[in-house]
Amino acid sequence: MDTRRIGSLEVSVVGLGCNNFGGRLDAEATAAVVDAALDAGINFFDTADIYGRTKSEEYLGQALGRRRGEIVLASKFGMMVDERRHGARPEYVRQALDDSLRRLGTDYIDLYQLHRPDDTVPIADTLGALDDAVKAGKVREIGCSNFSVDELREAEAAVRPGGARLVSVQNEYSLFFREPEQGVLAECERLDIAFIPFFPLASGLLTGKYRLGQAPPQGTRLTEGRFSSELNDKKLAKVEALIAFAEGRGHTLLELAFSWLLARPVVASVIAGATKPEQVQANVGAAGWRLTAEEMAEVDGILG
């Protein structure tokens, strides 16, 4: 599989999002997905302390075992684990990191990310604690998630002389969610920050299993809970047009979703979750279409 850079880290262009571990998947099912990812050439695994109510890190660590050194391991902190554990205060950064290391069964995290901005704490204080973690060998690179252009600039300006700086930002981005194009992607290019899109399949809308005029599969993210409003005839009509576009060129909607993101050099790795080994294999196989500028423009026309 092709690789790209996140700071000093070399990552597979398809990564594995581990948000299903500990929630929809138990330890045994997690191990099956992790094994499939490793067998398929994925080396970038992205988790967070809140995933699976902290079980994601635990199950991922168990599944990796002695293969830990073969992968680039990313985790996040900052969202609410409980009333005491949240935010970006320096003392909590140290606690959250040590807790994640223990759950993951490792002594270092390759990419440690602030999961969301904390406007109650100066970013310089948070970066100072993260820089200390890098110097202590507990973290190799640092990143962030859900940051705006202004927040990226503020963080860059707050870096200590010779200190660790943010090398990645992980924000939502897909064919159906284009907000990063309104400045964040350009800022990443300017600052040499890698962009990592989350929800690249628009919560499943771009997998091809949701079709206009057909009953949606039950028990999925788009038929239950907060994402259900995403499933409407207007979007499904665009899905049908995208399917026709892809199939007319010998590809699938899944291949279009991954390859469209990877057409942007600033995108380092497309991370997608999986609940079955077959989904991992499909995701890995979806990244090989090299879209032309004309094809990219035609997609823009379809999406309006």
The catalytic site residues sit at: 51
Q: Are 41 and 12 in contact (CB under 8 A)?
A: yes
Q: Are 110 and 74 in contact (CB under 8 A)?
A: yes
Q: Is the dihedral of CA 33, 39, 45, 49 positive or negative?
A: positive
| Sheet (strand 270-273) strand order | 194-198, 166-172, 139-145, 109-114, 72-77, 44-46, 14-17, 270-273
Q: For residue 159, what are the CA distances in angstroms to 16, 78, 118, 172, 195?
A: 30, 19, 17, 25, 19
Of 76, 84, 184, whose CA–CA distance to 139 is shortest?
76
Name beta bridge partners: 177: 174
Of 5, 23, 25, whose CA–CA distance to 72 is shortest?
5
Element (H, E) at 208: none
> What whole-number distance in Å separates Cα of residue 171 and Cα of residue 148?
9
Q: Are 168 and 141 in contact (CB under 8 A)?
A: yes
Angle, helices 149-157 vs 123-135, to 10°: value is 60
> What whole-number distance in Å separates Cα of residue 150 and Cα of residue 171?
14
Fill in the amino acid letter for 220: T
- Read off the tokens for 66: 């002695």
Q: What is the DSSP letter of 108?
A: -
